[in-house]
């Protein structure tokens, strides 16, 4: 894979974007709980963001195919900036929900950035390039949660300070996009038809294609597994091990560090050595092992071993599945198909926190990782069935 300067710019933009929300991840559930929210209500807070992103993410992706990546990136980043300002001043559950809705409406930034990477990379290198995107995600998770969790505990502003820092980071991404990123899409002279913005036809189109739909379903259930566990990790570790914001932050930072190693250093070599299909299976088994360990341990320090398996597997699964989906469609459809994957992500982010909140409300905390492992098992079953049908991944 030949290095391009655009890769570095997109990397910096994505790191800034991930930092924007990873700073608040360790304390948002505990913040809401301090205002009287139950685990189910916390699940609904996370649901509210994803509900609106589900509808708007494919629209943003399709608009970026028509009008260009840069203007849509700037709009989405500005929406994220406003949402963090509102969250920083929030003193009621209603304002927390409002901040999540604002970000969900127009903050669909990551899929457009991935579409940009597709524009400047070959099909052969696409999974490796999406691995670079994963490095940005991992690096943001390395420093963001640790800083956010620490600041939330020591600052006189409490939970507000990480939110305002996140807002500042969002402004930085706007600057980087506006002045350092070249447009890759020629604006089409033909007017966009309003009804074509809505993605129901795209869902029908891609899910009726057996090659594409198989990967989309695998991606969806992987996300359900991942989000059910990680969205409630703060509450899970608090109930199971007595963790506070700072400990949750450092745990998520470790997830980020492992993700950087997997996607930035190891992934390209593993793809060349094992091939994408075999590596995907290994990643799935690693995630399942990590979740099972999480459910049976009773000491907080033991969680490091479980999270190592979990994050190692997750570090390879996502770029492989997204890269696989991307390679199934033409270059002019990259924004649309990656908008669909982002929309599936939003749907999973609606369902996952609600499942996690329900489990923590009515069952022992250890049931949460087992629930996630069940969904990862579904992915494995689908891969086995696809292999029997000789679908060429």
Handedness of CA 201, 48, 117, 71 (dihedral sign): positive
Return the percent helix, strand and coil in the chain, to nearest 5: 80, 0, 20
Q: What is the pLDDT of residues 79-97, one digit of tens each?
A: 989 988 998 898 888 898 8
Which of 124-138, 308-322, 361-375 has the lowest average pLDDT? 124-138
**DSSP state letters, 74-104:** HHHHHHHHHHHHHHHH--SHHHHHHHHHHHH
Sign of the torsion formed by the C-alpha atoms of 324, 207, 285 and 375? positive
DSSP-assigned states of every residue in 106-131: H---HHHHHHHHHHTS-TTTHHHHHH
What is d(CA 160, CA 31) in angstroms, rounded to the nearest whole number? 10
Tell me how far CA of residue 48 lies from CA of 17, 30, 40, 45, 375, in angstroms. Answer: 19, 17, 12, 5, 22
Dump pLDDT digits (tens) for 273-294: 888 889 999 999 999 999 999 9
Q: Please give the CATH topology (third level) of the domain spanning 5-182+205-388.
A: Growth Hormone; Chain: A; (1.20.1250)
Q: What is the pLDDT of residue 393?
A: 45
Mean pLDDT of the chain: 82
CA–CA dist 291, 270 (Å, integer): 23
Output the six-digit token pair for 55.
């509808």
**Cα–Cα distance measured from residue 292 to residue 366, given in angstroms and rounded to the nearest whole number:** 9
Q: What is the CA radius of gyration of the chain?
A: 20
Residue 15: its pLDDT value, please? Answer: 77
Rounded to whole angstroms, how far apart are CA atoms 79 and 108? Answer: 9
For the chain, which residues make up each domain, given as ranges? 5-182+205-388
Q: What is the pTM of this model?
A: 0.71
Neighbours of 70 (CB within 10 A): 18
| Per-residue model confidence as pLDDT tens digits over 206-257 | 777 777 888 899 999 999 999 899 888 888 998 899 888 788 888 878 877 8
- d(CA 35, CA 3) in angstroms, rounded, equals 48
Q: What is the pLDDT of residues 13-23, one digit of tens each?
A: 777 777 766 77
- For 11-62, the pLDDT digits (tens) are 877 777 777 667 776 777 777 888 888 888 888 887 887 788 777 877 887 7
Q: Return the number of other C-beta atoms located less than 10 Å from residue 240's C-beta.
A: 21
């Amino acid at each position: 894979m030949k290095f391009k300067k655009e890769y570095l710019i997109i990397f910096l933009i994505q790191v800034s974007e991930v930092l924007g929300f990873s700073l608040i991840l360790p304390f948002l559930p505990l913040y809401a709980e301090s205002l009287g929210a139950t685990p189910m209500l916390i699940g609904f807070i996370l649901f509210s963001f994803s509900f609106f992103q589900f509808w708007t993410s494919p629209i943003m992706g399709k608009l970026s195919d028509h009008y260009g990546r840069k203007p849509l990136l700037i709009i989405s980043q500005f929406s994220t900036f406003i949402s963090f300002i509102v969250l920083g001043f929030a003193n009621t559950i209603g304002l927390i929900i409002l901040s999540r809705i604002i970000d969900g409406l127009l903050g669909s930034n990551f899929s457009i950035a991935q579409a940009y990477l597709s524009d400047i990379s070959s099909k052969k290198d696409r999974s490796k390039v999406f691995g670079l995107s994963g490095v940005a995600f991992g690096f943001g998770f390395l420093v963001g949660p640790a800083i956010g969790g620490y600041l939330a505990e020591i600052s006189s502003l409490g939970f507000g300070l990480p939110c305002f820092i996140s807002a500042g980071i969002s402004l930085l991404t706007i600057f980087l996009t506006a002045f350092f990123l070249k447009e890759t899409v020629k604006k089409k002279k033909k007017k966009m038809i309003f009804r074509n913005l809505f993605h129901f036809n795209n869902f029908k189109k891609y899910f009726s294609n057996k090659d594409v739909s198989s990967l989309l379903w695998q991606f969806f259930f992987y996300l359900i597994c991942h989000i059910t566990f990680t969205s409630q990790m703060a509450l899970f570790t608090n109930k199971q091990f007595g963790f506070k914001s700072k400990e949750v932050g450092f745990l998520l930072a470790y997830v980020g560090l492992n993700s950087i190693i997997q996607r930035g250093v190891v992934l390209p070599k593993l793809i060349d050595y094992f091939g994408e299909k075999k590596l995907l299976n290994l990643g799935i088994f690693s995630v399942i092992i990590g979740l099972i360990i999480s459910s049976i341990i009773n000491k907080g320090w033991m969680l490091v071993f479980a999270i190592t398996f979990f994050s190692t597997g997750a570090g390879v699964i996502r770029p492989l599945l997204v890269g696989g989906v991307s390679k199934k469609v033409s270059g002019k459809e990259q924004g649309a198909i990656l908008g669909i994957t982002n929309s599936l992500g939003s749907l999973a982010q609606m369902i996952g926190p609600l499942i996690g909140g329900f489990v923590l409300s009515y069952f022992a905390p250890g049931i949460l990782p087992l629930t996630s492992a069940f969904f990862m098992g579904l992915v494995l079953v689908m891969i086995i069935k696809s292999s029997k049908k000789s679908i060429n991944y």
